[in-house]
Structure 1
Amino acid sequence: MSWWRGRRGRHGFVLAAASAIAVSAAGCGQTIQGAPQPVGAGQTVNMNFDKLLRECEVVSRDQIAEAVGGGDTYIQDSFSGAVCMWDLEGAPGAGMATLNWYENGNLRNERQVNDKLGYSTASITVQGTLALEIRRPNDPDSCGVSASAADSGVVGWWINYRPGSAHPDPCAAAKALLELTLNLAR
């Protein structure tokens, strides 16, 4: 040891450092046999996307018709995408019903967005869970109700009756549809 200590100099430090790196690197390398595969390889993938918008079927047309006023209300799909929409035809529930189900949403964010839009937001309870009842200012013909989804995210219903028409309470209809949705999601 004393011989090495006395003769190290600048080159000795370089050799010692190089030796330490070589020993460390040799212990980290590893060869894995086989061919690389993409994530999920070997799993069957449904390329028909036949269940992509399944959430639009969580509540039946008959249940929507009953919640928005029953009677002769006719329900017609009008849009399926990030949200599901139905046109409501016939008295007393003429207008539109909208279902939204945001997988990464939460009630805090929903409240913040509604506050920024100038909507009135009240805390209520639906199926024993905290929910939000949302109203647009000066619009007694529409209402939304949102709650945390059973697994993750936030689910909500909006009812927009035709302005000036005789119709049931839009908040009661939105709440009834949310109750059905939360029951089915549990």
Structure 2
Amino acid sequence: MSRPGRLRRAVAATAAFVVLGTTAACTTVVDGDAQRVGADAAQKGQVDTSDFEGLLTECQILPAADIAEAVGGGSAERGFNGAICRWVVVGGGVTDVTLAWYEWGDFNLEKQTAQRLGFTTENIQVNSLAGFTQRDPARPQVCGVTAKSPGRGTLTWWVEPHAAGSDACASAIALMELVLNRAN
């Protein structure tokens, strides 16, 4: 056999040995049958939501009429709720409104993230709680306001008018004030 042929075989054998040795070193045998986390015969297909405080109630934190009034509209229609809540406000134009409440959110991390995304931020106080505004220079008509939640975590309101003219930050601050007033 030629020298290049032997070299290729030696390299291939070494590679196979490394792969087999690594695979064997990284495997573990566990007794029993695989089951979905939280699954048992009594709860088949059910999720115990008692561990989630206020599951989906954050979208009901303010009445739709209050949201509409805070952004200068006539009515607000909730379009999505889940990890975040969204409304479309109509009357005097169309405005998208979003609420995000992160029960375990970190205020400083939220601000650092906004700055890393290139948003301009400004420190504010909302009902004696630390907060900040955030704006994307590419979309200056949009404004977000984040504040520490009175209990824990962070609250963020985003206001995005579809037409120029209204002050999105003033609307987002007004929404934050309404929520924090309810919490006190």
Verify same fold: TM over 0.5: yes
CA distance in 1, matches of 2:115, 2:49: 40
User: How far off its partner does 1:183 sit?
Assistant: 1.2
Question: RMSD of the TM alignment (CA)?
Answer: 1.8
SS of corresponding position for 1:141: strand
Tell me: CA distance 1:116–1:60, structure 2 relative to 1, closer, same or farther (3 Å).
same
- 4+ long deviations beyond 4 Å: none
Identify the residue that residue 134 of structure 1 maps to in structure 2. Answer: 134
CA distance in 2, matches of 1:84, 1:63: 15
Identify the residue that residue 180 of structure 1 maps to in structure 2. Answer: 178
Residues 141 and 164 in structure 2, CA contact (< 8 A), matched pair in contact too: no
User: How far off its partner does 1:91 sit?
Assistant: 1.4
Tell me: CA distance 1:46–1:105, structure 2 relative to 1, closer, same or farther (3 Å).
closer
Calculate percent identity across the aligned residue pairs. 39
Residues 65 and 75 in structure 1, CA contact (< 8 A), matched pair in contact too: yes
| Structure having the higher Rg | 1
CA distance in 1, matches of 2:108, 2:49: 35
CA distance in 1, matches of 2:90, 2:127: 29
Does residue 82 of structure 2 align to residue 81 of structure 1?
A: yes
Give me the TM-score of the superposition, normalised by structure 1. Answer: 0.68
CA distance in 2, matches of 1:87, 1:144: 16
Which 5+ residue runs of structure 1 have no aligned equivalent? 1-44
Q: Which amino acid aligns with 2:113?
A: V
Identify the residue that residue 122 of structure 1 maps to in structure 2. Answer: 122
CA distance in 1, matches of 2:49, 2:143: 37
Tell me: CA distance 1:46–1:120, structure 2 relative to 1, closer, same or farther (3 Å).
closer
Identify the residue that residue 145 of structure 2 maps to in structure 1. Answer: 145
